[in-house]
A and B are shown apart, each in its own frame.
Chain A
Amino acid sequence: MRRYILRRLCLLPLVVLGVTFLLFFLTQRLSPEMRASLYVKDPRQMGALEEVIREYGLRDNVFKQYGRWLVQVAHGDLGYSPSANMPVAQALKKYLPATIQLAVVTMILVVFFGVWFGAASAVHKDRWQDFIARFISVGGFSLPIFVLGLILLMIFYGKLGWFAPGGYSIQTDIIIHSSAFKTYTGFLLIDSLLNGDLRVFCDVFAHLVLPAVTLCIGSFALMVRVMRSSMLEELNKDYVRTARAKGLREYRVIYKHAGKNAIIPVITLAGIQFIRLLGGTVIVETIFDYPGIGRFGVLAAQQLDIAGILGFSLMVAVLFVIGNLFSDILYMAADPRIRLE
């Protein structure tokens, strides 16, 4: 097991290098003028691109240029992003906490409701509860998040006016940028509590509701499905019959005995899904204008902001690879029969 983890850790930088090289190679299709923006630190330099091209040798071969880009990244300089109007490193630092916050809230929703619906569906097999849960698990899997997002926006913002898009309201914006508001972690949900400002907390949370509900749909469908089949399997086992035979009350049999065992696959699945959410945030953040790295990446891609695209991909690749490694380890820890090589 230790050898497996070590091997994966060694491969990690290689894989990330591979991804960035692939993308860097693709950028070579673009004109040197466009690529020069990678090296510009100040919007004012944009006027003198020819100098930048000469200074950084943007007409050299790919490998030389890639090497230089790596050195630059190693120094923490990811270039300047015109689409975000700030250096890429700063943009990533600014937007990442919002995305993680969104993913965590989504995952809590997914696990809580997924386990609840899945268990109810198995306990009441072939009754209406089961029918609803199965309908959700099939339908949720096929409903594109951009369709669901727009429909929710139509109803809950357009019709009811409950949840506005964006990351927070203007009033909150003023509060969190005032000198009285101290930034501890960058996560607004936590920072607002540490500052003792419940209004900010509620506002930030209200802006999280729609994106989180939209984002959870696919994972939720899968979670219901896995919990249902896992629960059905446990309920048919001998120990459940024994528990019933010795006269335990039904809810104890279901929740304390079968439920505890049935939840194991759900936990490992949650680890994998958490990382998968990263892909979905790209669309959800765009629909709800939520200030996370997904929206940053989309804006960069739409405006062909190369520095932004490369920085965003690098960030996502690192998160994704580390996350996958963690979920593999989690998977193995939950089920000792699994041997990874």
Chain B
Amino acid sequence: MNLRILKRIYKNKTSLCGLLLVAFFGAVALFAPMLAPVQNEHNPYQLPQSSYQITPQPPSADHWFGTTEQQYDLYYGIVWGARLAFKIGITVTALAFLIGLAVGGIAAYFGGKVDETLMRLTDVVFAVPSLVLAMVIAAMLGPDLKNMMIALTAVAWPSYARLVRGDILSVKQRNYVTAARTLGAGGPRIFLRHIVPNSIYPSVVVASLDIGYVVLTAASLSFLGLGAQPGTADWGQLIAMARNWVLGTPSNSLAYWYTVVVPGGAIFLFVLGWNLLGDAFRDILDPRQG
């Protein structure tokens, strides 16, 4: 099964592109300490500053991608930003998926009033655009990296809860579940041994492909000043700093292009990779296609 999926991804040019992009960023994240040696032992995500001069400096031998406001090194920011992106993406999706699995599982298992209550709870979270809700929660908790991740988790779990609930409800009707019951298996055993393992696979795929979207939302929050704080190796935060420099100098209005294009390009390619991979998986999982 997995080999077949890999083969199909390999055959399609765009999905191969997606896989390569994600793998590339994965490698950058993994080897970040080698690509950009840590400057601050206590917090590797703290950007090194070569001086306190405000104006950004163009790419040079010392700073391959240039420096942004206050001489934060962009190369370091991109490399460690990749690591932070994976950290945020994986933590948030994993947590949200576990909460979704618990809530969706309980709703589907007990049904009736419990189901109704829990599903109305998901309605509440769906009643506001996720970016807006995450923004408001992050603001109330106080803007920092950890609270941003809590806010992102808080808005992400309901969609997994619904997915898991739907899948469990359909698996519940299958014959092997009835067979297990006839053999005298207890409720929790049927649920944990037969229903859950057979119903979460599609949701796990959906959730893991959401990493790109989570990172995009996280970057949006940091951009609005409600996530990572200035000086953090976070792509969204780097772009937030670039906001002051989009107009350039009087003689050259595009003088500081790299402050936007470098971190913007990183986010774009990262999200593009995940989206291409997601498209490939959607095609593969679509039963209408051979």
- A residues near B (Cβ < 8 Å) are 11, 14-16, 18-19, 22-23, 26-27, 29-30, 138-139, 141-144, 146-147, 150-151, 153-155, 157-159, 276, 278-280, 282-283, 286-287, 297-298, 300-302, 304, 306, 309, 312-313, 316-317, 320-321
Residues A301 and B139 in contact, CB atoms below 8 Å apart: yes
User: B18-49: which residues lie under 8 A (CB-CB) from chain A?
Assistant: none
Known: A26-B137, A309-B136. A147 touches B120 (CB 8 A): no
Q: Are B267 and A144 in contact (CB under 8 A)?
A: yes
Q: Is there contact, CB below 8 Å, between B260 and A150? A: yes
- In angstroms, Cα B124 to Cα A114, docked, is 32
Asked if B216 is at the interface of the complex by the 8 Å CB criterion, the answer is: yes
A158, closest chain B residue (CB) = B253
B247 close to A (CB within 8 Å):
yes
- The answer to whether A159 and B268 touch across the interface, beta carbons within 8 angstroms, is no
What residue of chain B has the Cβ atom nearest to residue A310's Cβ?
B136
Interchain residue pairs with CB less than 8 A apart (16)? A11-B120, A146-B219, A146-B236, A154-B260, A158-B253, A158-B254, A279-B129, A280-B131, A282-B131, A282-B135, A300-B139, A301-B226, A302-B139, A304-B140, A313-B133, A320-B128
- Point out the residues of chain A lying under 8 angstroms from B138, CB to CB: 301
> Which residues on B are within 8 Å of A, measured CB to CB?
14, 120-121, 123-124, 127-133, 135-141, 212, 216, 219-220, 223-226, 236, 239, 242-243, 246-248, 253-254, 257, 260-261, 264, 267-268, 271-272, 275-276, 279
Q: Give the CA-CA distance A71 to B172 in the complex, in Å.
A: 45
Interface pair B131/A304, CB less than 8 Å apart: no
Question: Secondary structure of the B side of the interface?
Answer: helix
Complex CA distance for A316 and B264, rounded to whole angstroms:
28
Contact among A146, A154, A301 for B247, CB-based, below 8 A: A154
Q: Which residues of A contact B127 (CB under 8 A)?
A: 15-16, 18-19, 317, 320-321
**Residue from the set B220, B276, B279 with the largest chain A CB neighbour count within 10 Å:** B220
| B-chain residues with CB within 8 Å of residue A19 when the two chains form the complex | 124, 127-128, 133
Determine the chain A residues whose CB is within 8 A of the CB of B140 once the complex forms.
Answer: 23, 26-27, 29-30, 304, 306, 309
